[in-house]
Amino acid sequence: MTGFIGQLLFYTVPFLLVLTVIVTVHELGHFLVARAFGVKVDRFSIGFGRPLLSRTDRHGTEWRLGWLPLGGYVKFSGDMDASSVPDQAGLAELRQRVIAADGADAERDYFHFKPIWQRALIVAAGPFANFILSVSLFAIIFGAFGSTLVPARVESVSAASPAAAAGFQPGDLITAVNGRIIRDSQEVTRKVALSAGDPLTFTVDRAGREVNLIATPVRRVETDAISGRVSIGRIGLGLRSDPSEVRTVRYNPVEAVGRGVTMSGEVLGTTLTYLGRIFTGKESGDMLSGPIGIAQAAGGITKQAAAATDDPGLQAANVVVTLVQFAAIVSIGIGFLNLLPIPVLDGGHLLFYAYEAVARRPVPARVQDLGFRVGLALLAGLMLFATWNDLQKNGLFTFLGGLA
């Protein structure tokens, strides 16, 4: 029983810690821009549920720490419904209530009566705060540790594999894929993994001579301790460089920020590529993860980081650095998800504001209600699909199917 509780804590604590930090920064983005525009804010909460700690600042905003660490929220004064985009009738009613309570012109301090461009910036500030967080975390890592570049040197070629058919030989150094310069072997692995069925052109250095080889990755089902069971592209290459070829690049603060921007862009680009392949039928979507998968990944990388050394101090340092990297990646995903034009998400609000800017009136209440319901259904469907993936990757249904 004690072992089970320990395993549970190993997976849930890192997940909750990362999630709370990311969502808090997201909500802080909304809050800071709203405060800059003079919007009245009732509450900023880290966590949900009954407050453990609470204080009210001089602006009348309650700062609260909830007992349930599943993120947080910011509540603007006058929020009337879940969509937070009242129609004309709702705005008229809100204006009357505000004036009756606080006097004439008091509504100017309320979010819903701010100019459209200010409301749009406040809404967009949440996702962009996630992107800024990602860049900052990557920059801290690159500034503190630099980056280790391992050349993509071919150590082995599997028999009867796409790599063998393409003519790869041990000792080849991959210098480019589809014309893009390769500096690290992980770049090759990521590109191949998301290219099943698509021919790739590899430029290799073979004893000082440049050779172009074409190989088409084939889909394989693999299992690892972090992701569970997933299907990805492989060409049958084993990559390993001589230690003398490995180099560490150091960055000054400006270069570290630039590298952080580049890394965040690469993560976002990989996400967009994968989603695009899902819509074109080239991927099944089995790599999409929900809370279970994210928690498993957080626990898995924490265990791997701790197991890398026996020194308690180094273990703690490895865990912190690994979770910082993980938080940076997840933050990009949450920022991107919130920008999708789905009602109830920030992107849906921006879509409503775009309509309002063109039509010069808010979206009608019945349309908002329909959009809200459709948005909830889409999110629920996405969550169910991601949870199904998580359970499939962990072999639950196979286990249940084998019960007598």
CA distance linking residue 127 with residue 192, whole number of Å: 30
121, 358 Cβ separation under 8 angstroms: no
- DSSP sequence for 312-323: HHHHHHHHHHHH
> Measuring CA to CA, which residue among 58, 56, 102 is closest to residue 78?
102
DSSP state of 257: H
> Measuring CA to CA, which residue among 152, 327, 174 is closest to residue 240?
152
> Measuring CA to CA, which residue among 151, 193, 149, 198 is closest to residue 172?
151
Residue 19's CB is within 10 A of a number of other CB atoms, namely 21
CA distance linking residue 272 with residue 196, whole number of Å: 16
220, 234 Cβ separation under 8 angstroms: yes
CA distance linking residue 180 with residue 64, whole number of Å: 49
Question: Across the strands, what pairs with 205?
Answer: 173, 210
271, 288 Cβ separation under 8 angstroms: no
> Measuring CA to CA, which residue among 176, 193, 183, 118 is closest to residue 151?
183
**Pick the catalytic residue: 27, 107, 187, 283?**
27
218, 233 Cβ separation under 8 angstroms: yes
- Long-range contacts of the stretch 243-251 (C-beta < 8 A, 24+): 245/150, 245/151, 245/153, 246/148, 246/149, 246/150, 246/151, 247/148, 247/149, 248/146, 248/147, 248/148, 248/149, 249/146, 249/147, 249/148, 249/149, 250/146, 251/142, 251/143, 251/146, 251/147
CA distance linking residue 118 with residue 124, whole number of Å: 10
Six-digit token pair at 29? 């983005």
Six-digit token pair at 182? 């390769």
27 is catalytic: yes
The residues assigned a catalytic role are: 27
